[in-house]
Structure formats: C-alpha cells, structure tokens
Structure 1
C-alpha cells in the first residue's frame, strides 16, 4: 500500500475549497489524517468537511484568507485549539490570472504575488514551529508546496504567474536548506495542465479559449492525480525527502 504512515497525522491544507487542495484534503482524511481545510468560501469548505466526516474521516473547516496576516494567525490559533500541533502542511492556495504585461494589470500582479508567494510564507510562518517540534520528537514532518511547470516553461501572457511560481519553486529549494537539517522535509510539486477552477478566473476571452484548446489537445490531469503525488511523498519513510516532483499529462512536453 503506498500510503503507510499518514494515519494519525495532523494536516493543514490551503486552497481546500476546490481543485488540488480539496482533493489533497479528502485523500489525507481518507488515509486517517486529521485535516484542517483552509480557504475563503465557508459554505463550500463546510460541505467538503461534512462529506469527509460522513465517510469516517476527521476534518475541520477553517475560513481563512492567505493574503491576510491576521486571518492566517487566527486560523492557526483555531487549528491548534482543535487539533493541537501540525505535522503536515500543504500549500495549495493559488491564483492564475494571465494577461499581457503591457495590459498593466497591477491588480492581478498583486493578487498573484500575495497569494502564490507571500501567502505561502504566511502559512509557513504560522506552522514552522509545529513542524520543527514534530521532527525533534522523532515524528515525520512535511511541508509540501504546490508550484507549477510554469516556474520553468514560459508562455505568452503568463509572465507574472510564471514568475510567482518560479519564486515558489526557489523558495521551496531554499527552505530545504533551513528545514532539512532539522529533519523537516520540504517537497515542491510542479503540476502541468490540471483541471481545476484556476482557468475559470481568467478574464481574457482569447486566453481562456487558448487554454481550453490545450486541454482538448493534451488532456489535463485530474486534481485527484496530483493529490496522489502529495500523499505519496508525505507517506515515505521520514529519512526520505522527495524534494522536487514534476507531474504532467503524458502528452504535455
């Protein structure tokens, strides 16, 4: 069985209201982890948490906005009150808002930077102490960041999105130098084309149509397939850190 040591762990998953985050939360809970689901949409979060509980899992819905310091701090306090310290953190919250740079969409640039980069840092700050303490006690401790192949592959009109994901990939690699010596594992997962709500946020009709064409030509990964990768890396023996994983639809090159 590929998931041997997820039962009994306490996980935080951001972006858990849909897509990869939702799939990760559902899978971890099914494997016996207590899961705190973080996202902004209260009704959606609670519906997912209820489904997890109906299937015998443990789930806590926590409304939080990773772009807001106080919101993340309050979320961490609620999780600690309900579940105690955390030993698995999955940063899945992200936004993809493509437009040509010449469009000057500072609103989109700021939202992507604040979610995809600073949002991750806020969550890392909130739970670093937990992860380090778990590792010091001899338990498995994981930080998993969901980046993108856009960190390496350039696409017209996706420059700022790609830059935020390149920053996240580099951040993950840098954090390994700080966390690895303390036995905290850091994994950076870079999915390729994946069928999530991200594409519904695009307000440029031409770019939205191009993305639909890519899905038609290449086929996209299901969120559950990326979640499988996350669960796999978190379930390895604690001395094994799969630091960097790229997961693509077979036709995407």
Structure 2
C-alpha cells in the first residue's frame, strides 16, 4: 500500500510523451486513471496495457481546446470512476518560430492548449478536488510547465510566455486552493525526450533541438513520471509547490 493507493486521477496529454508515462506510473501505484487526449486509438492501447498489468484505466478522447469536449469528458469520467482527487495537466504544444514570422495560428494553438486548455480542465474538476479534501482525503492539482517559463530561448517567445503564464497560474491558485487543503504543484522540466519536437516545422530550429539532445542527454518521460508520483504521494499536509527538473548537463 502507498499514499497513492485507491486514488482517482485524470492525466491530460495521455496519448504521447510525458502523459502516458505519468499514467502508467500512477496506475502501478494503485491509482485509477482516466486517460485524456485526442488520439483515441493510442489511449485505448495504453488503457489496455495498464489493465493487463493489473491496473485500472479508462480512455477518454477529448480536446482541451474545446469547452464542450472537456465537459463531456468530465461527465464520462465521473460516471465511470466517480470523484477525482488528482489532476495532472500534461497536455501541451511547442511551436517555435521567429516572432517576425507572425504565426498567429501557432500562437493561438499554444495559448489555447497550454493555458486556456489547462483552465478548462481545472474548471471541470475543481469541485472534485475541494470535496475530496473536505472529506479528509488528499487532493492534488499538478501542472506541467517548462523551464522555458523563465529561461529564455530565441524563437520560443510565445511558447515561453504560455509556460510562464502556467507557472504564475499555479502559484496564484495555491492562494485559493491551499486554504481548502488542495495541493497545487508546478513542475518545470528541462530538456525531455518527447514528441513535442516533431511538431516543429522550422528545419533550423528542429536541428538546434536535435543538437541539444545530443549534447545534453534529455530526461526520459519516466523521470518526470517518477517525480509526479513522489509529489502526489506525500502526506496530505506536505505541498511541494514548485519543482524544476533538469538533465544533469543542462545549466
């Protein structure tokens, strides 16, 4: 038995990268997990693997950029698993380009996923978290931000701004949730192996990212998952509010 045993979690971004690793790790610790992302086939495959390993998971196809989609997902999760006491916002997109390119489509997508999408998920499960805490249980909101929230990288201005907003949001929410015994943790990973880089359409910037991977050696998604399981597994009176996790070679 662990501090996580018997809890119920929602993990966004569960189709690729950090999200699936978090879901698997939580399930291994006895957490019932709702897998939330757009790619239904990947979610179903992950849920099947978790179930085959003795865990409990449901696949919920949803788009965090849609109010209706998130609301419908929350309804399905409540019907299948009941009240949620752990929310991990791991969904995100990274689309770097020079600001002079004026890529409003990319800016909008990053803001709507990395900031407003997180807010939609928080809105959907705030009552769950506060009720779980009021009933004497442990309740956690974990937001996955980025070292880019405060370390500056050329051509990543809008991405960094969205992550800075998420870091600030997490800190501000502690003033509202903390007095209600709901813990809020902001995690800022550095260079991490994921599919984020595959979305970059700028060949030069993608090449730079590949060079960083070769030079620094990125974190594995499982490294982030281990950290989040540790955070959520602390006694309910302990809140690890802000954590930066970097590859050893990254300054």
Q: 2:95 aligns with which of 91, 94, 97?
A: 97
TM (normalized to structure 2)? Answer: 0.99
Pick from 174, 177, 180: which aligns with 1:176? Answer: 174
1:56 to 2:62 alignment: no
Aligned length: 251
Q: In the alignment, which residue of structure 1 is the partner of 2:122?
A: 124
Answer yes or no: is 1:20 the counterpart of 2:18.
Answer: yes
- Name the structure 2 match of 1:217: 215
Distance 2:83 2:6 in 1: 12
For 1:197, the equivalent position in structure 2 comes to: 195
> Could you list the runs of 5+ residues in structure 1 that have no partner in the other structure?
none
Residue in 2 aligned with 1:84?
82
* TM-fit CA distance, 1:88: 0.1
User: Is 1:148 paired with 2:163?
Assistant: no
Counterparts of 2:228 and 2:29, CA distance in 1 = 12
Give the one of 22, 28, 40 matched to 1:30: 28
Partner Cα distance (1:53, 1:17) in 2 = 16
1:72 is matched with 70
Determine whether 1:11 maps to 2:2: no
Q: Residue 162 of structure 2: which of 151, 164, 180 is its match?
A: 164
| CA–CA distance in structure 1, aligned partners of residues 118 and 135 of structure 2 | 25
Indicate which of 228, 237, 240 corresponds to 1:239: 237
Structure 2 unpaired stretches of 5+: none
| SS of equivalent residue, structure 2 residue 10 | strand
CA positional deviation for 1:4: 2.6
TM-score (norm 1): 0.99
Deviations, residues 227-251 of structure 1 (Å, cap 9, x unaligned) = 1110000000000000000000000
Distance, in Å, in 2 between the alignment partners of 1:7 and 1:49 is: 18
Aligned partners of 1:13 and 1:233: how far apart in 2? 15
Could you say what secondary structure the match of 1:229 adopts? helix
Aligned CA-pair RMSD: 0.6
The CA distance in 1 between the partners of 2:132 and 2:66, in whole Å, is 26
Q: SS at the partner of 1:90? A: strand
Which residue of the partner structure matches residue 45 of structure 1?
43
Rounded to whole Å, the distance in 2 between the matches of 1:7 and 1:239 is 17
The runs of 4+ residues in structure 1 deviating greater than 2 Å are none
Q: CA deviation at 1:18?
A: 1.0
SS at match of 2:73: helix
Quick one: distance in 2 between partners of 1:230 and 1:67? 24
Distance 1:62 1:7 in 2: 22
